[in-house]
Chains A and B, each alone.
Chain A
Amino acid sequence: MDSITKMVVINSSKLLPSDVVIKLYESNADVLIKETCFGVMVTGERKVVDSLLSTIRKMDPYGIFVKERGFAPGEPYRCRATRRGGARPGFHNLESEDKLLPHIASALRALDKGEIPQIKQKKKKLDIEKLKNIIKGTEVQQ
Chain B
Amino acid sequence: MTSTENPVRIAQLSCGAEYSGIQKEIDSAVKQVNAVMVYPEVDIADIESIEEEFGLKVASPDLKLVMARAKSIVTGKVQVDAVFVATCFRCAEAALVRSEVRRYIHEKTGIPVISYSFTERTTAGTLLTRMEALTTTARRKSLLAREKQSGLTAGIDSGSTTTKAVVMRDDKIIGKGWVPTIKVLESAEEAYANALKEAGVKREEIQALGTTGYGRFLIGEHFKADLVQEEITVNSKGAVYLAGKQKGTATVLDIGGMDNKAISVIDGIPGMFTMGGICAGASGRFLEMTAKRLGVGITELGALAVKGKAENVKMNSYCIVFGIQSLVNSLAAGNTPADVAAAACHSVAEQLFEQQLQEIDVKEPVIMVGGTALIEGLPKAVEELLKVKVIVPANAQYIGAVGAALLASGFISK
Q: A residues within 8 Å of B by Cβ? A: 83-87, 89, 92, 95-96
Contact = CB atoms under 8 A, between A and B. Distances in A.
Interface string B6-42: 0001010000000000000000000000001111111
B38 A89 contact: no
Contacts of A86: 39-42, 69
Contacts of A87: 41
A84 B62 contact: no
Contacts of B48: 96
A84 B40 CA distance: 8
A101 to B, nearest CB: 14
A19 to B, nearest CB: 26
Interface string B70-89: 00000000100000000000
A93 to B, nearest CB: 9
A78 to B, nearest CB: 11
B91 interface: no
The binding surface of chain A is classed by DSSP as: mixed
B338 interface: no
B69 A96 contact: no
B390 interface: no
29 contacts: A83-B39, A84-B9, A84-B36, A84-B37, A84-B38, A84-B39, A85-B11, A85-B38, A85-B39, A85-B40, A85-B41, A85-B78, A86-B39, A86-B40, A86-B41, A86-B42, A86-B69, A87-B41, A89-B62, A89-B65, A92-B42, A92-B43, A92-B44, A92-B47, A92-B65, A95-B43, A95-B44, A96-B44, A96-B48
Contacts of A85: 11, 38-41, 78
Contacts of B44: 92, 95-96
Contacts of A92: 42-44, 47, 65
A83 B11 CA distance: 12
Kindly list the 10 A-B residue pairs having the minimum CB-CB distance in the complex, ordered from nearest.
Answer: A85-B39, A86-B39, A84-B38, A85-B38, A86-B41, A95-B44, A92-B44, A85-B41, A96-B44, A85-B40
Interface centre among B9, B37, B39, B78 (most CB of A within 10 A): B39
Contacts of B40: 85-86
A94 to B, nearest CB: 10
Given A85-B11, A92-B65, A95-B44, 8 more contacts: A83-B39, A85-B41, A85-B78, A86-B42, A86-B69, A89-B62, A92-B47, A96-B44
A86 B42 CA distance: 6
Contacts of A83: 39
A57 B39 CA distance: 35
A92 B45 CA distance: 10
A95 B62 CA distance: 16
Contacts of A95: 43-44
Nearest to A87: B41
A103 B189 CA distance: 75
A84 B38 CA distance: 5
B314 to A, nearest CB: 47
Contacts of B41: 85-87
A92 B44 CA distance: 6
A3 to B, nearest CB: 22
A95 B47 CA distance: 12
A84 B30 CA distance: 14
A116 to B, nearest CB: 33
A86 B69 CA distance: 9
